[in-house]
Structure 1
């Protein structure tokens, strides 16, 4: 069977001291579109690599690898040597570190046991791990000391070093919904537009929804709608940079009306397409088919 060729594969190996921020790191890479695997045993790397070559579709991979034993460490070294000898892969090692004092403080805060603390002393586990990681740290292309960094600041540094210029990591999810079916539990911002004129009471518009031009035009025709929309758009555009600055990777904006068929759909369409001009935006109409489902069941 002929192997599929990978034009360019970027591999980031995330490692370092336990408690130094590897969880935050892998979440950051996931938000940047990397295919992420947490704690993959090095012995499974060859099989994983074969699957990647057969796929030929994955261009960015981030692997979190930490230490559990000295034998595990030897496997990591062998794995890295094997990958570095593969010309198709651009490999880089991200090493996360922190002061012993800070690591002890974090373990006390989370009440976790250090994976290498055989006798239960966190300090002994940290000393053992630091000794085992010395060689690996010296080979890392990037070392980040997280002692004084908040999770948000760590994300910012990772994005600065590894994000591609052609992709913006911040994205917006626009959702229309009907209050009769409940609020979207993942919404960051919720706007109620039930005060606008309702196409439901216009017989020829009732069977349609806000993506249909007659309904859209009807909703947008009133001065009240236009005045509201202009103010709401200005508000959203003014606050989005603040969410980006705070390190938020995605923002969900939900607009609701009674049934999620007409008004909320039309406003979500308009605002969503406006935001697409400057941001990665996805538009979803959560309840737009609920009426059909109800009719079919009855």
Structure 2
């Protein structure tokens, strides 16, 4: 029995709808939003899943279960099961739909049969499925028609519907590195700060890093340093905004100097500070080679 100060159970989302309407894309987008997603779950397993979420507490605050006709005859129980679970739970049903013509085209493009096609045509399978899901569609909390949406637009729609208010839609990591240790392999954009004088050759700065004020002051006092950082941050704003529109959830901006200890570290920190106010973006800083000899 729940204690008086126990937190309410987490949110549960049932993802269902027409085969080919984008359930996989929706599930992937929900995972990117930190939902715990279970695919192809029989309706009868929903109650044990909800009991698990109650037991797990904050470890599973948001759970999405993809339930569809792949469950065969078990799928017919979904309306009754969903209705019985609504009492006392924050439970919603997302129904994905698309026109018959588009669904046929999508199945033909991947050269896979419809799960209810049998010995008939793809359209026969779609019509059988529509009959089975009609009652579920009528009671769905959210209906998304994907007829005119590509996978990126659908993912963006899911993010709009199910992300928490104020949650970041994109995370950018600003990484400093040293060219002498090689280019990072997992980056999207690279900036080269070797056009600035190297503090390594200043005896009183050599042993310090770009995280320390003397090195920061020296680097930022050099001709072109602040101008470059300001201009680069300004140029990155539409890039980060575009990443959000295309539902690209993560990116890495690498900033390099010779050893990854002075100029690139200062620049990475300054750049991250300027990008922190881009709407919908969370900024992280990583110094790949700081501390290496």
Give yes or no for TM over 0.5.
Answer: yes
Residue correspondences, number: 289
Report which stretch shifted further, 146-155 or 38-47.
38-47
Report which stretch shifted further, 97-106 or 220-229.
220-229
1:47-68 per-position Cα deviation (integer Å, ceiling 9, x unaligned): 4323321221133222222222
Could you say if the C-alpha distance between residues 114 and 200 of structure 1 is closer, same or farther in structure 2, counting changes exceeding 3 Å?
Answer: farther
Structure-1-length-normalised TM-score? 0.84
Report which stretch shifted further, 110-119 or 9-18.
110-119
What's the offset of the Cα at 1:8? 5.2
Equivalent runs, 1:36-115 vs 2, <5 Å: 36-57=37-58, 58-85=60-87, 87=88, 89-115=89-115
Aligned Cα root-mean-square deviation (Å): 2.6
1:168 aligns with 2:168: yes
Residue 179 of structure 1 is matched in structure 2 by 179
Residue 254 of structure 2 is matched in structure 1 by 254
Residue 41 of structure 2 contacts residue 65 of structure 2 at CA under 8 Å; is this kept in 1? yes
Residue 69 of structure 1 contacts residue 116 of structure 1 at CA under 8 Å; is this kept in 2? no
What's the offset of the Cα at 1:95? 0.6
Q: Which runs of 5+ in 2 are unaligned?
A: none
Distance 1:54 1:116 in 2: 36
Q: Which runs of 5+ in 1 are unaligned?
A: 293-298
1:16-75 per-position Cα deviation (integer Å, ceiling 9, x unaligned): 111111122122223333333333344443443233212211332222222224332035
Equivalent runs, 1:23-38 vs 2, <5 Å: 23-38=24-39
What's the offset of the Cα at 1:267? 0.7
Report which stretch shifted further, 129-138 or 51-60.
51-60
Residue 124 of structure 1: SS of its match in structure 2?
helix
Equivalent runs, 1:98-137 vs 2, <5 Å: 98-119=98-119, 121-137=121-137
Residue 19 of structure 2 is matched in structure 1 by 18
Structure-2-length-normalised TM-score? 0.86
Distance 2:79 2:181 in 1: 54
What's the offset of the Cα at 1:110? 1.5
Distance 2:112 2:186 in 1: 29
